[in-house]
Chain A
Amino acid sequence: MIKNPSRAGGCLARHALLACLLLVALNATAQTPATSDAAPARTEVKESTAEHGKFSQLKKPFKTGEEVTEACLSCHTEAAKQVMATRHWTWDYVNPSTGQRLGKKTMLNSFCIADRSNEAFCNACHVGYGWKDDRFDFSSERNVDCLACHNTGQYAKIPGLAGHPAYQRMEYPPGSGKFVEAVDLPKVARLVGKTSRATCGACHFYGGGGDGVKHGDLDSSLKQPDRKLDVHMGVDGGNFTCATCHKTESHRIAGSRIAPTASDPHRAILRGEKTDRNPASCQACHGDQPHKPGPSAGLLGSLTLGDRLNTHTRTLACQTCHIPAFARGGVPTKMFWDWSTAGTLDADGKPFQKKDEHGHVIFDSKKGDFRLGENVEPDYVWFDGRVDYTLKSDRIDPARIVRINTFHGDAGEPDARIWPVKRFRGKQPYDLEHLTLLVPHTATPDDTALWFNYDWDRALAAGTAAAGQPFSGRFGFVETEMLWPITHMVAPGEQALGCAECHSRDGRLKAVSGVYLPGRDHHLLLDRAGFGLAGLALLGVLGHGTLRIFTRRQRKEHGNG
């Protein structure tokens, strides 16, 4: 259960004991169901070796999140330093393949666009307390929010409170007439534990402004999925947590969509093996030849379906066949978002919403028009793991669809595979003179925010000022596109794509070039010549035969006459 012996040795250091116990607990619980039949008399044994509810450090009348953090850090002395070294804290990242400065602090997307000037709202998903503008102290350990990921009770960070939960009962959203209760911090603090699908999902399922909006393969249906929706996370399947694959050491979480692992042509990683490989890839557990070869291996191996499928791993990501569609759990994902209609008010000058037949919002005066999708068949692109982004300083060509991100990779490259992606389109504001995408101020209540004033001019002036971006005052809306790799919602094997889904004239891969795909591709001239010649041969023999029958009859008549 302990990941490596050196860490076990380190446990002897007295002040690290609790950190170590927590680590053991984090690792231990995932595997326990398999061993439960060993004990005939069911005695209740806790999965964790530490019962946080019994800790005197946590029996305090906590008033703020920071006070809870201080209590955590009194035992877990290194935890905050670890967290502060991760992107969950910095929201800052340098793309190793391009040198581009990325991370949520800097990047643009085509959903809520950017967090600058909206920090108090967006940064409800920051693992910290108090980030509401650029004066936030990234060096203060008490600003780290342990509960964001480690609570097992009722704890929620409220957008607008700069990463804090509600300390008093409050109306939320403001002016809605709905209320959220104050968080019971003393109770929540005693219910800390390992991360779960729900704790990670509290942010990662709701990116882009709501359930399932952004990724398409991550939404609240994965809190308690069945194995048909996700064979690994399914409660009747592997019942994995996120961290089962996104193996975490010292709070560094494996996996990244900015620098993903597009191919991993290696066998499975052995337990304890020293490796730089990403433990969150399919191959980390399954290896790169995962299909059973069948009875006849060796030279005749190409006879078996398993071998045939294994040769596909050279060309395809596992996800391409094993995730037949995304947004499969009943939660729609946004496929299109047109910001240009945001600010439109009804006849009385009031903001309004439009909903589709399922009750999903498809227009909102705050955000514009949406198109939603469920059970969406992905698009497919060659991808080698390198991504670069259009940043707010980059000049764009408004005559074309602006790619917010570009997936690199070409057919035949050793690292490139055909990957399933969500192709998200939309329209968002850009500067007509500077030809840059613009950061609007939207979400925190004041006299410039778009969602409270419905005035683009003021919203863009405030947003660009906060983002340090030049703004000419003249703006338009440009069509944009953003790709999202599809990697969750892996279906059980029996639901994987059949051959003809791609091996057909009009199949899923019809737009993917650079590879000869039997059943899709053919040499037009050869086909015409071949079938033409066969047709001529058929006509020839039919003519010959007809002439034989005809002349034989004539001879007979002649002979008889």
Chain B
Amino acid sequence: MAERIYLFKRFERFWHWSQAALVLALLVTGFEVHGSYSLLGFGQAASIHTTAAWLLVGLWIFAIFWHFTTGEWRQYIPSFDQLGAVIRHYSYGIFLGRPHPYRVVPERKHNPLQRLAYLGLKLAINPLIWASGIAYLFYAQWRDLAPAWLGLQEVAIAHTLGAFMMLVFLIAHVYLTTTGHTPLAHIKAMITGYEETH
């Protein structure tokens, strides 16, 4: 019988979906600023990109505060218990119709693979994008203090690298949301907060 667990609290859901919208907007406008295509026009793209970036920074500040005050940050402590089983599940168990080996409970709502992926996102990709983005925005203010090897080009390369990492994360993440017991199960959980378990 199906059982409902309340996994994602209201702030968490708000944070997730507004972050998703902002990251999508940033990717679309960012690659236009990068010159990969022409959609809104450079000026419009740069303006939306900057505004979305500041909103995301604000959102992250709230999210970091929320994670530490609620203790939810512990959800991202790496765990290698069952990591092999989860990898084996996505490699072939899923094709055999076997159930997911990981049992979700509110205290441990992410499987070991998710823990690693989200930790990487929060400790590597996000800080890279954040730091390089702020350096990009305020280049005019620090350029005179910079060493010779560090210019706008290096900042732009770091920022673009972060963007590609985010893009790859997004592709994998969106796909993996469809791997619940039904294709929309995980997405529903992120909307309602309740995960149905079997």
Contact = CB atoms under 8 A, between A and B. Distances in A.
A526 interface: yes
A530 B94 CA distance: 29
Interface stretch (B10-18, B38-46, B64-72, B187-195): B38-46
B95 A548 contact: yes
A530 B168 CA distance: 9
B140 A311 contact: yes
Contacts of B78: none
B80 interface: no
Identify whether the interface residues of A are mostly helix, strand, loop, or mixed. helix
Contact of A516 (B46, B47, B140, B151): B151
Contacts of A314: 140
Nearest to A412: B151
B171 A538 contact: yes
A504 interface: yes
Interface string B49-78: 011001000000000000000000000000
A519 B33 contact: yes
A50 interface: no
Given A522-B160, A523-B160, A500 B97 contact: no
A302 B137 contact: yes
In the complex, which range does the number of interface residues on chain A fall in? 35 or more
B100 to A, nearest CB: 13
Contact of B43 (A500, A515, A544): A500
Contacts of B175: 541, 544-545
B168 A533 contact: yes
Contacts of B43: 305, 498-500, 503
Interface in A534-561: 534, 537-538, 541, 544-545, 547-548, 551-552, 555
B38 A526 contact: no
A41 interface: no
Contacts of A504: 35, 38, 42
B180 to A, nearest CB: 12
Contacts of A308: 46
Contact of A548 (B34, B50, B94): B94
Contacts of A503: 33, 35, 42-43, 46
Contact of A518 (B35, B38, B94, B164): B35
B167 interface: yes
Given A498-B41, A522-B36, 18 more contacts: A302-B50, A303-B51, A305-B43, A311-B139, A314-B140, A498-B43, A500-B41, A504-B38, A518-B35, A518-B152, A518-B156, A519-B42, A529-B164, A534-B164, A537-B168, A545-B175, A551-B95, A551-B97
24 contacts: A302-B137, A303-B51, A305-B43, A499-B41, A499-B43, A500-B41, A503-B35, A503-B42, A503-B46, A515-B152, A516-B153, A516-B156, A518-B46, A519-B33, A519-B34, A519-B42, A522-B36, A523-B157, A526-B161, A533-B168, A534-B164, A537-B168, A541-B171, A541-B175
Interface of A: 300, 302-303, 305, 308, 311, 314, 498-500, 503-505, 515-516, 518-523, 526-527, 529-531, 533-534, 537-538, 541, 544-545, 547-548, 551-552, 555
Interface of B: 33-36, 38, 41-43, 46-47, 50-51, 54, 90, 94-97, 137-140, 151-153, 156-157, 160-161, 163-164, 167-168, 171-172, 175, 178-179
